[in-house]
Amino acid sequence: MNREEKNDLVVALADQMREFGNFYITDTSDLSVEKINKIRRKCFESDITIKVAKNSLIRKAMEAVGGDFEDVYGVLKGASSIMFSKSATAPAKLIKELRRAGDKPVLKAAYIDSSTFIGDDQLNALVALKSKEQLIGEIVGLLQSPAKNVISALQSGGNTIAGLVKTLQEREG
């Protein structure tokens, strides 16, 4: 790979880091071609982009993005694959699924919405993460609950303040 090809790869990796906002760095070393192809197929089915790149090029791409990747730099040793996905949990779920059949891929690090997760022991936490949309939905649901109670109290009390007070007193008792 010449210098121009390396620069193109760094630019492409940096663009994907910006576009997706989530990426996982895994160790897929010592896997057969058949197993690597199976992982690529599963990634494709799960809408995950996987790239194999030298650690120095991954680091240069992170530096080009300009985020806080200091913790991630330490895991860039040995063979590395990088997974990109719009869903923060999809790669973690895929890694967990693939690990049922073997001991690889191993999670080195994950970067999700400016949070860094280092080490394979973080895999279960990543699988359980809720997306921004899920968290916002839960917060909206919690905020709507008291409003729904007030509206129902108003409707049951004939839309009067006295009816509201009476309904609230009944609920306290």
For the chain, give every domain's residue range.
Answer: 3-129, 133-172
Distance CA 36, CA 56 (A): 22
Residue 105, SS3?
A: coil
- The rounded radius of gyration (Å) of the Cα atoms in the chain is 24
pLDDT band at 172 (very low <50, low <70, confident <90, very high): low
Residue 159, SS3?
A: coil
Closest C-alpha among 10, 16, 23, 114 to residue 61: 10
Tens digits of residue pLDDT in 78-106: 888 999 998 888 999 999 998 888 888 99
Q: What average pLDDT does this structure show over 3-31?
A: 91
Query: What does the pLDDT read at residue 63?
Result: 92
Q: What's the Cα-to-Cα distance from 97 to each of 22, 42, 50, 102, 116, rounded to whole Å?
A: 19, 10, 16, 10, 22
Report the 3 state secondary structure along 21-78: CEEEEEECCCCCHHHHHHHHHHHHHCCCEEEECCHHHHHHHHHHHCCCCHHHHCCCCC
Tens digits of residue pLDDT in 122-147: 988 888 887 777 778 877 877 777 76
pLDDT band at 31 (very low <50, low <70, confident <90, very high): confident
For the domain spanning 3-129, the CATH number is 3.30.70.1730
Tens digits of residue pLDDT in 55-81: 999 999 999 998 788 889 989 998 889
Is the confidence at residue 109, as pLDDT, over 90?
Answer: yes
At 117, phi and psi to the nearest 5? -120, 120
Query: What does the pLDDT read at residue 161?
Result: 63
Is the confidence at residue 157, as pLDDT, over 60?
Answer: no
